[in-house]
């Protein structure tokens, strides 16, 4: 979702449950702001559009179920009349379903973790019971609950942008999503996103970084310098927005915005932060560290 000036406002999802029914999700902290934005657009920009908006944030308890056995687990609680095979419920599908013998629920096949994953929602009063049922049914698959830190590592491994990357001045182009903004269909932000200043050849682009020495550590906030340059703000090439230790790759990894980053994959650079005495050599890589082909989410 873009602002009028082409800057990214929020990232979320839009699920179409029916011809006339969409569910829109937002970054948690932006929920009220996005709702306000939608109401402004409806009331002030397009008052003749026949659309009704209401928040349902608290009405549903929603859980992500992720991993190679997520479909098998869900098959144990989703009522059998619903086909959740890969063909019957492909990546990015959504539907109203029932679970556990008839309780209304919603199923979304989306993945922030990069794994084969779903999100399942039931009315909030049944959320506790559903979670207990999932944990019980998942014992044969060694199911474990996972939290925000694990999710944070997985989404960085996958290269998914999040709040760190939607930091105020970034555009869809910076995020590597420029082609998602249609040049044919009008949308809020599309026109001003074409401003020359936002589309220069050396525009910041989202990339991945890895330390040349896998034992080297770093945090977000450091700046990227050409190895032959003096370390100073004048020579700043970009900055790191997210960093985590990847147990999959046995190395620190990070997401960064780098000038002309799309054409600098493979380049060796220096990551510095004079404030924290950080100075390590890194390689610029694709920000899709794990499963770049997306075979897991489409399994």
Contact residues: another protein, CB under 8 A: 20, 48-52, 54-61, 98-103, 122-126, 128-130, 133
Q: What is the DSSP string of 106-158?
A: EEE---SSSSSEEEEEEEGGGHHHHHHHHHHHTGGGT-----HHHHHHHHHHH
Closest distance to another protein from the beta carbon of 9 (Å): 23
In angstroms, what is the minimal distance from the CB of 261 to another protein?
40
Q: Smallest distance from the beta carbon of 16 to another protein, in angstroms?
A: 14
Cβ 146 vs Cβ 138: under 8 Å: no
What is the spatial distance between Cα 26 and Cα 32, in angstroms, rounded to a whole number? Answer: 9
Q: Which is nearer to another protein, 8 or 99 (CB)?
A: 99
Q: What is the bridge-based pairing of β-strands 204-211 and 251-259?
A: antiparallel
Shortest Å distance, C-beta 105 to another protein: 10
Q: How far is the CB of 186 from another protein (least distance, A)?
A: 21
The whole-angstrom separation of Cα 8 and Cα 260 is 19
Q: Which CB sits closer to another protein, 105 or 297? A: 105
Smallest gap from Cβ 85 to another protein, in A, equals: 23
Q: What is the DSSP string of 35-97?
A: HHHHHHIIIII-TTS-------GGGEEEEEEESTTHHHHHHTTB-TTS--STTTS-TT-EEEE
Cross-sheet strand order for the sheet of 103-108: 60-66, 117-123, 103-108, 94-99
Nearer to another protein, 74 or 240 (CB): 74
Q: How does strand 238-246 pair with strand 223-226? A: antiparallel
Nearer to another protein by C-beta: 32 or 212?
A: 32
Q: How far apart are CA 95 and CA 207, in angstroms?
A: 34
When the beta carbons of 79 and 83 are compared against another protein, the nearer one is 79
Q: Between residues 128 and 213, which has the closer beta carbon with respect to another protein?
A: 128
- Given its phi and psi angles, is residue 101 left (phi above 0), alpha (psi -120 to 50 degrees) or beta? left
Minimum distance from CB of 127 to another protein (Å)?
Answer: 8
**298 CB neighbour count, 10 Å cutoff:** 14
Residue 125 vs 179, nearer CB to another protein: 125
């Amino acid at each position: 979702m873009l602002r009028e000036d082409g800057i990214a406002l929020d990232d979320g999802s839009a699920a179409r449950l029916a011809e006339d029914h969409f569910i829109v999700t937002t970054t948690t902290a932006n929920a009220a702001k996005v709702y306000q934005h939608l109401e402004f657009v409806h009331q002030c920009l397009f008052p003749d559009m026949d659309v009704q908006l209401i928040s349902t944030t608290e009405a549903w308890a929603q859980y992500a179920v992720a991993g190679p056995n997520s479909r098998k687990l869900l098959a144990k609680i989703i009522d059998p009349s619903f086909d959740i095979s890969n063909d019957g419920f492909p990546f990015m599908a959504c539907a109203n379903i029932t679970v556990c013998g008839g309780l209304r629920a919603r199923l979304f096949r989306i993945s922030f973790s990069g794994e084969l994953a779903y999100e399942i929602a039931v009315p909030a009063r049944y959320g506790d019971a559903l979670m207990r049922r999932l944990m019980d049914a998942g014992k044969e698959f060694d199911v474990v609950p996972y939290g925000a830190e694990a999710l944070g590592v997985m989404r960085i491994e996958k290269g998914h942008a999040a709040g760190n990357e939607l930091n105020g001045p970034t555009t869809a182009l910076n995020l590597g999503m420029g082609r998602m903004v249609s040049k044919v269909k009008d949308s809020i932000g599309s026109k001003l996103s074409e401003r020359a200043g936002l589309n220069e050849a050396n525009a910041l682009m989202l990339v991945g970084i890895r330390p040349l020495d896998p034992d080297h550590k770093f945090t977000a906030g450091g700046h990227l310098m050409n190895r032959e340059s003096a370390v100073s703000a004048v020579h700043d090439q970009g900055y790191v927005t997210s960093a985590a230790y990847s147990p999959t790759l046995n190395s620190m990894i990070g997401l960064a915005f780098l000038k002309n980053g799309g054409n600098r994959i493979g380049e060796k650079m220096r990551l510095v932060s004079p404030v924290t005495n950080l100075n390590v050599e890194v390689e610029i890589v694709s920000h899709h560290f794990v499963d770049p082909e997306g075979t897991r989410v489409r399994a």
